[in-house]
Amino acid sequence: MRIFSATQAKQEFASLLDAAQHEPVLIRRQGRDIAVIISMQDFEALRRYRLAELRQTSEQVGAEAIKAGLTEEKLAALLLDRT
C-alpha cells in the first residue's frame, strides 16, 4: 500500500490516481490515517462482497425468525404496534 501525506496528495493528485489503479493508497494528515483511495474496480468488488454478505445475513435472520415462529402476520402486528 502506498502512502501519501495530505499535502503530497494535493500536489501529486494525478500520481495518486495512477497509483490507486494498482493498489490502495493511504492518505495521512499530521501522522494520522485519514482516508484510503482505491480503484473503481476494487470499490465495485468490495460493494458486491458487502451486498452478498448482507443478503446472507438477511437470509439467516429470516430463517431463524421462521424457526422461532414469526409469521408475516405477527411481524405486521409488531411493526404496527407503536405503544
Please check whether residues 47 and 33 belong to one and the same domain. no
Span 23-61, pLDDT tens digits: 999 999 999 999 999 999 999 999 999 999 999 999 999
9 pLDDT above the threshold of 90: yes
Please check whether residues 76 and 45 belong to one and the same domain. yes
CB-CB contact of 57 with 39 (8 Å): no
What backbone torsions phi and psi does residue 82 show, to the nearest 5 degrees? -110, 35
Please check whether residues 45 and 26 belong to one and the same domain. no
* b/e map 29-62, b = 16+ CB within 10 Å: eeeeeeeebebeeeeeeeeeeeeeeeeeeeeeee
What pLDDT score was predicted for residue 13? 97
Count up the domains in the chain and report the number.
2
CB-CB contact of 33 with 26 (8 Å): yes
Please check whether residues 30 and 45 belong to one and the same domain. no
**Domain of residue 20, residue span:** 2-38
What backbone torsions phi and psi does residue 39 show, to the nearest 5 degrees? -70, 160
- Confidence tier at 74 by pLDDT (50, 70, 90): confident
